[in-house]
Amino acid sequence: MTEAFRLCSPKTKLRPIVASLPHSGLVIPRDVAQALNKSFESYLPNQDWHLDRLYDFLPNLGITVLKAVCSRYVVDLNRPIRNPLFGSFWRSVIPEETAFNTLLYQNTPSRKQIEERIEQFYYPYHRQLEELLNQMIDQFGRVYLLDLHSFLGLIVDEVCLGNVNGQSCSEFLISTVESAFSASGYQVVRNKVFSGGYITQHYGQMPHVEALQIEIRYPTYLKQTQLDQDYVPDWDVSEFHQAKLNFEAIFSKIANLCSEHLPTG
């Protein structure tokens, strides 16, 4: 049976930071794959390509990482559980079409199959995330949740930070992340289209949790010429390796500043 998530514990001194990668998984369980239209057997568009590899340095900085295993097309962990459960790519927990309005299924999943997917993949991820956040609060008094994503369309900015227009985190956190990216030469915007999905909104309401969504545009870390093709872009390219080096320095700075900003007494 396919696991719901992978938890990567820190390899050095624990920081009060949890990184969530809800769209990093690419696995499609066999029963789901068999129900899809044949054109989607080897490729589904608009996924958060290779973020698990891009951010695999985070545990070395003391950051706890929770990442999805399955594709967002199996269950979208960044959507609320509300009707219709099966519907729009942008709103439903299980999409019936791609981001470009192309129908996914030759055999539409039943209500029972939809509910089984939610039980198997959605609830375990969110239970684990909430448990991690509460553990951090118990230990540090505050926790910073970074919800990590990537994108291509809608805007052309390199990095978009979303804190639900100031509601899910403090000015300190968003300014710290913004300054760290800007100092490394990245063009950064706030709450421009990507103001924060369900994870940022929901967990940002918890006491002592500050949640920030970080969106990275594909060409910032992937080869531009591959992005118009109907196949998964390659991660073993110079753009990826350079971005990874840059991001490790950026997140090291963020981790240090967040650790220094904890409540005292």
pLDDT tens digits in sequence order for the chain, 265 residues long = 789 999 999 999 999 999 999 999 999 999 999 999 998 988 999 999 999 999 999 999 999 999 999 999 999 999 999 999 999 999 999 999 998 899 999 999 999 999 999 999 999 999 999 999 999 999 999 999 999 999 998 899 999 999 999 999 999 999 999 999 999 999 999 999 999 999 999 999 999 999 999 999 999 999 999 998 889 999 999 999 999 999 999 999 999 999 999 876 5
Which residues have a Cβ under 8 Å from the Cβ of 65 and sit 6 or more positions away?
7, 8, 18, 19, 21, 55, 58, 59
Alpha-carbon gap, residue 40 to 135, rounded angstroms: 40
Domain boundaries, the chain: 5-259
Hey, CA dihedral for 253, 66, 221, 212, is it positive or negative?
A: negative
- CA distance linking residue 72 with residue 25, whole number of Å: 7
Fold of 5-259: Aminopeptidase (3.40.630)
Question: What's the pTM value of the predicted model, to 2 decimals?
Answer: 0.96
